A and B are shown apart, each in its own frame.
Chain A
Amino acid sequence: MQEWANQLCENRQFGSKMTDSKYFTTTKKGEIFELKAELNSDKKEKKKEAVKKVIASMTVGKDVSALFPDVVNCMQTDNLELKKLVYLYLMNYAKSQPDMAIMAVNTFVKDCEDLNPLIRALAVRTMGCIRVDKITEYLCEPLRKCLKDEDPYVRKTAAVCVAKLHDINAQLVEDQGFLDTLKDLISDSNPMVVANAVAALSEIAESHPNSNLLDLNPQTINKLLTALNECTEWGQIFILDCLANYSPRDDRESQSICERVTPRLSHANSAVVLSAVKVLMKFMEMLPKDLDYYGTLLKKLAPPLVTLLSAEPELQYVALRNINLIVQRRPEILKHEMKVFFVKYNDPIYVKLEKLDIMIRLASQANIAQVLAELKEYATEVDVDFVRKAVRAIGRCAIKVEQSAERCVSTLLDLIQTKVNYVVQEAIVVIKDIFRKYPNKYESVIATLCEHLESLDEPEARAAMIWIVGEYAERIDNADELLESFLEGFHDESTQVQLQLLTAIVKLFLKKPTETQELVQQVLSLATQDSDNPDLRDRGYIYWRLLSTDPVAAKEVVLAEKPLISEETDLIEPTLLEELICHIGTLASVYHKPPSAFVEGSRGVQHKRLTSSAGSGESVESPDTGSAAVSEAPPTVIPSQGDLLGDLLNLDLTPPTSTGPPPAAAPGMQLGAMDLLGGGLDSLMGDESEPPPIPLRTDTPQSPQPPHQSPSPPDYSPTELGGDIGGSPAMGAGFGAPPAAMPASFNAPISGGLDDLFDLGGGGGMTMGTYIPPKTVWLPAMKAKGLEISGTFVRRSGVIQMEMTLNNKAMSVMSDFAIQFNRNSFGLAPAGPLQILTPISPNQSIEAALPLSTVGPVMKMEPLNNLQVAVKNNIDVFYFSCQYPISMLFLEDGKMERQVFLATWKDIPNENESQFQIKDCHLNSDAASNKLQGSNIFTIAKRTVEGQDMLYQSMKLTNGIWVLAELRVQAGNPNYT
């Protein structure tokens, strides 16, 4: 279609006659032909009708791009409707016909000068929607004029246009100074212009985390609050979301903003209400709790939240997800509103489940009777998922409200009497939890439970029942018979049940050694000899040895007192909760995940945190700042040596030496139009730092900050380097628990792959051999229907391998595995199919190693070492991304000739240089050099200058880029440049 369409256009352009009738054999093509004739008609009306028909075809997804020149010809008209229609068409097809689109430019420029502001606005609006680079150049001048137009309608349209242009060509927008003009518009006299400017700036800021675009100060805040009262509902949302990013100077300012935002709680638009709730929830933290106003504010928050629940179900769902956060943070707001969360039978299931969750969170001694009555009601509903969750909820109530435990247990027993299979099974699972919370209190019910033994067919319920039998074996007369009955089909059971059974029988044996000897031998042999599952085998052997060597010790181990469980387990972790409170109303709040964990396109999302008057805890640890490492840093530092990796970053990128005398590095970075490291590096070397790591530093004053030595980059530069080159969730976390023998206290934000690599420098025992980062979880089971993948990357004898542990946490068997990579910076691709020959049964885990090649398609990733992976199995396709250590890309032949090295070194332009420090390494230069060689970082030369050892090193990446490094090691000083 597209092809003949293009041909058609060419024919038109060259003025050839329409002889291609063969293209119009089908009715569909005939239609196009007819339209073409009509479009070129002299009659205005006919023209307009034709354009309408074209648009109609376009909206239903038909390709009418062939008519491009004909439609554009209709653009020069004074009929506004026709003009609008042509604009609609242009926006849709300009991208596919960039050359033709240029034809339209003149009309646009002319329209931008029109007397009618509606036309001016329309022209500037449409131009911004034509996503063609060539057009954007012509757009700048008209846009500049429109931003200063006398008519606010034009200004507000132009403000949005800046955001559009930024999306197409960010550099252009910055160069032209549009961002500053946009910032000025925040102080515009017209509230709609203000709102649109805020909206545009917010959108730009999201793709631009470092720019202080929305630099809020009390004056701008005042402007925004004024505009808030007068602009449209949508504008109010933008402004409120923007306000939420502001940190008031003191509680007085906080209170005054709250006072001015409170009226928004009565808005008919639920998004306005929720954004206002966000601002209030955040700024409330600043207010002293004894203030009268604080109490008033708390009271004002409840009614609007309740009202949100009478809206459409979709709105309810989002509101409920947010209320779930709010009740965890401030349960007092809704503590009297339990009833609004009662479930109606015709609520959609997603609303039902959320309501249930909140009911449990609000359950207290005061309302538990009501809640239980409701839950019991729900347990007789039709929807199986809902019923199950309701039964579980009863158990959670028992654990949460101690006084109600007895009533909960009797309710559960009632439910068991219904004999509805899945109800019974759920009930048994939760009763197990109740036993864990209140040991030795409700054992009287065991007899009832045992009656239902046969009906249990779900692993979780069976495992729970077995646990109960084992735990209370001494009180159950026929415990041995019961357990024996399970043993018959031992190999058909899921791992969960097998493990439980093993433990339960050992418990039984320890309690009644005389009668059960045979049973225990049977289970031990089943577990150790006949099972393929390593977990089961290991546990079997441990028990076996314990029992055979020291039965007393066995008793102490196996029958040890267990810690009580509490309801805390299902609460959101407080630091995460604080961050989520700052994101009320956003997608993050719906998913209960920090934005950094999932929002695409916003690199380096700013971590918001509640600034509380009480100075509450720090914000959640972001995976990419590696703060976990900071907190693990030991308070004292043993000065050591060997900072290699800092130098690794003192890297320069030069083209492969095969091109003769190495030219300056800059062109090298453009290898294959792919400025892999280069692009990353350039942006790294920028003077702006990423905000997140800085607070982290200040948060941990114990983290050593030895004086910087030598011409070091600005203080935060290394932070950035680490953050972008290697900083990755995986690496950061991996660093948290390094296998290093000595306390490795790097400046943590540096973290990242290179630090990891350096772990081997710190870890004295691990001489030679490539550094293998510890496995980290790439794909949590929650996200992948029970499949958990953890893994790492390693270079073994010249082959890059991806080593994975696949763990099946679902109830069903998984098979038919396959793996695929997205294009990535270094062209990594699987060198063969994923070798998982046997299906993975529930709770089994399997190790798999996948050799990788580096000849796959290349695309620059952000961060550079990011790898997006898709794994398929019989259930679904799952996606995750992980980061690999750069070090695995270093080739064995990365040793550069000395002369070449020298020449190259000199030719490296300054802009490709980077300096980096690695602190507190405990190695002398030789040891360091040896260790690095294990990872294919070769020392070319060593020189001693003024008591410092200088190591000159080279490494070669798989894509042929050389990296040269100078490593300065000074004895007794922990810093190396």
Chain B
Amino acid sequence: MIHSLFLINHAGDIFLEKHWKSVISRSVCDYFFEAKEKAVEPENVPPVLQTPHHYLISIYRDKLFFLSVVQTEVPPLFVIEFLHRVADTIQDYFGECSESLINDNVVTVYELLEEMLDNGFPLATESNVLKEMIRPPTILRSVVNTLTGSSNVGDKLPTGQLSSIPWRRAGVKYTNNEAYFDVIEEIDAIVDKSGTTVFAEIQGVIEASVRLTGMPDLSMTFMNPSLLDDVSFHPCVRFKRWESERALSFIPPDGNFTLMNYHVSSQNLVTIPVYVKQNICFFETGPCGRLDITIGPKQTMGKTVEALMVTIHMPKAVLSANLTATQGNYRYDLATKVLVWDIGKLNPQKLPNLRGSLSLQSGAPKPEDNPSLNIDLKIQQVAISGLKVSRLEMNGEKYKPFKGVKYLTKAGNFQVRT
């Protein structure tokens, strides 16, 4: 199982280590550093590395490497999932996952890691359970602690660890009982030069924020559940009910959690909300090129497209861009060769356009690779797949909770090739 964990920053310094069995020397990370050197970009470091005596399994998140060392045959997905869980927990506790925050709270992080694994076996990874044992730091609490001398480590047995619903703690109490759900869909698409959709799918997620007293038993039904190709649920969801009735029935964890992920990929169901007309070319003669991009609405279900943004990774030879935007503004970062055009709201009457010339390094050959456009956008109040929640009911408790469902569509990995 998982033997040790090293946290390594962007620059390659190990700033925290934790061993769940015997201590493994830091030098084992040298193999990792070697691979990191070779990969140039931190994103490209292979996640599974073999060394003569160990395996190094790592993830790269928030500019940090979480590197775990294993000695025996362990499912690598298990390790990767766990590492992401560690990062999630740190983020959950301290608001973000950064080196300085971890260093500031090093003891809490260490205590958390100790609670999360025992001998390399996961012990408590549910944030509800962890928070019962080790309370997250807040300003109020640190004041209270200093005054009363109490500690931020719970001294009760975390009840959730034993029950058959480990995700929910007992004795939850609220004055305002509320349950909110966000249906968020991301469009992943590749559109080719001519505007044809090469590939498109929707990754959906239902994020829940549930603050309900006692042991509520919720059930959620959809108008059109047949849309969903593949679903994966939070452990609280009763799978049998889903299989038989296509309804989500669950006793929710307390607080924020991801109720379900889903996937819609049958091509005809995926509508692309905008179209992009683009022309980026470089001249055979002379160190310059031309760029002309127009974006227009395609199928937006009557809603406005917001936060529209185009990102282009330019070829290395492009020195500067002299462009005019009819809407929004653009900037070209010479160091990273990234052109960002921030448009904002899309006005169907007056389509935004960006055009002008690009100048190349003199003497450089005509760039061989064509840059891809990455599109960002948001559409409020609609799930682009058409998924709709029809009912949300609560059993098991007597009070009447506030309920709400919001929809949001975003661009995930939306690329236009040129």
Contacts and interface: CB of A to CB of B under 8 A. Distances in A.
Q: Do A and B bind each other?
A: yes
B81 A315 contact: yes
Interface stretch (A463-471, A592-600, A671-679): A592-600
Contacts of B233: 266-268
Nearest to B228: A303
A196 interface: yes
Interface stretch (A339-347, A480-488, A643-651): A339-347
Given A80-B153, A199-B121, A230-B164, A275 B111 contact: no
B73 A206 contact: yes
A317 B166 CA distance: 31
Given A163-B119, A314-B47, A344-B415, A234 B125 contact: yes
B121 A234 contact: yes
B84 interface: yes
A934 interface: no
B44 A348 contact: yes
Interface in B32-48: 39, 41, 43-44, 46-48
Interface string A148-192: 000111000100110110010000000000000000000000111
Q: Which of A196, A207, A266, A275 has the most CB of B within 10 A?
A: A266
B48 A586 contact: no
Nearest to B52: A879
B188 interface: yes
Contacts of B58: 314
Nearest to A58: B110
Interface string B57-87: 0111000000000011111111011101000
Given A80-B153, A206-B72, A345-B415, A380 B50 contact: no
B48 A317 contact: yes
B371 to A, nearest CB: 9
Q: How large is the interface on B (under 10, 10 to 19, 20 to 34, 35 or more residues)?
A: 35 or more
Contact of A60 (B16, B119, B369): B16
Contact of A598 (B26, B50, B111, B154): B50
B261 A268 contact: yes
Interface in B84-139: 84, 106-107, 109-111, 114, 118-119, 121-122, 125-126
Interface in B148-207: 149, 151-158, 161-162, 164, 166, 188, 190, 192, 198-199, 201, 203
Give the size category of A's interface with B: 35 or more
Interface in A66-91: 79-82, 84-85, 88
Interface stretch (A48-56, A739-747, A968-976): A48-56
Given A206-B72, A306-B265, A345-B313, A232 B43 contact: no
A335 to B, nearest CB: 15
B198 A590 contact: no
Contacts of A52: 107
A580 B201 CA distance: 31
Interface string B261-304: 10101010000000000000000000000000000000000000
Interface of B, helix, strand, loop or mixed by DSSP: mixed
A125 B118 contact: yes
Contact of B119 (A160, A192, A274): A160
B77 A319 contact: yes
Interface string A293-328: 000000000011011001011110111000000000
Interface string A346-359: 10111000000000
Interface string B209-233: 0000000000000000000011111
Contacts of B192: 373, 377
A152 B162 contact: yes
B307 interface: no
Contact of A600 (B71, B77, B118): B71
A206 B72 CA distance: 8
A669 to B, nearest CB: 28
B151 A602 contact: no
Contacts of B315: 382
Interface stretch (B17-25, B355-363, B401-409): B17-25
A825 B418 CA distance: 63
Nearest to A600: B53
A965 B315 CA distance: 75
B239 to A, nearest CB: 4
Given A237-B75, A601-B71, A263 B234 contact: no
A683 B175 CA distance: 68
A373 B196 CA distance: 12
Contacts of B17: 59, 61
A307 B125 contact: no
Nearest to B47: A314
Nearest to A304: B230
A464 to B, nearest CB: 22
Contact of B43 (A234, A313, A418): A313
A718 to B, nearest CB: 29
B352 interface: no
Contacts of A588: 73
Contact of A55 (B110, B118, B415): B110
Nearest to A48: B151
A59 B110 contact: yes
Contact of B157 (A153, A199, A380): A153
A44 interface: yes
B73 A599 contact: yes
Contact of B368 (A80, A312, A420, A595): A420
B399 interface: no
B74 A81 contact: no
A81 B153 contact: yes
A459 to B, nearest CB: 23
A621 interface: no
Contacts of B374: 346
A340 B415 contact: no
A591 interface: yes
A203 interface: yes
Contact of A56 (B107, B162, B230, B313): B107
A241 B118 contact: no
Contacts of B46: 317, 350
Interface string A410-442: 000000001010000000000000000000000
Contacts of B75: 237, 241, 271, 274-275, 585-587
B144 to A, nearest CB: 14
A751 interface: no
A160 B81 contact: no
B372 A237 contact: no
A117 to B, nearest CB: 6
A92 interface: yes
A273 interface: yes
B53 A318 contact: no
A809 interface: no
Interface string B1-39: 100000000000011111111110010000000000001
Given A232-B166, A233-B235, A266-B233, A344 B190 contact: yes
Contacts of A196: 121
Given A315-B77, A590-B48, 16 more contacts: A44-B149, A131-B21, A153-B162, A163-B121, A191-B164, A267-B233, A310-B201, A313-B43, A339-B199, A344-B188, A346-B374, A350-B44, A382-B315, A587-B73, A605-B73, A879-B52
30 contacts: A59-B106, A59-B110, A61-B26, A79-B151, A81-B152, A92-B23, A153-B162, A164-B21, A192-B162, A232-B125, A234-B125, A241-B75, A266-B230, A266-B242, A307-B230, A312-B59, A312-B80, A314-B47, A318-B47, A344-B413, A345-B372, A348-B44, A380-B369, A585-B75, A587-B55, A587-B73, A588-B73, A601-B71, A602-B73, A605-B73
Interface of B: 1, 14-23, 26, 39, 41, 43-44, 46-48, 50, 52-53, 55, 58-60, 71-78, 80-82, 84, 106-107, 109-111, 114, 118-119, 121-122, 125-126, 149, 151-158, 161-162, 164, 166, 188, 190, 192, 198-199, 201, 203, 229-235, 239-240, 242-243, 258, 260-261, 263, 265, 267, 313, 315, 368-370, 372, 374, 413, 415, 417
| Leading 5 A-B pairs by shortest Cβ distance | A303-B230, A81-B153, A314-B47, A271-B77, A81-B151
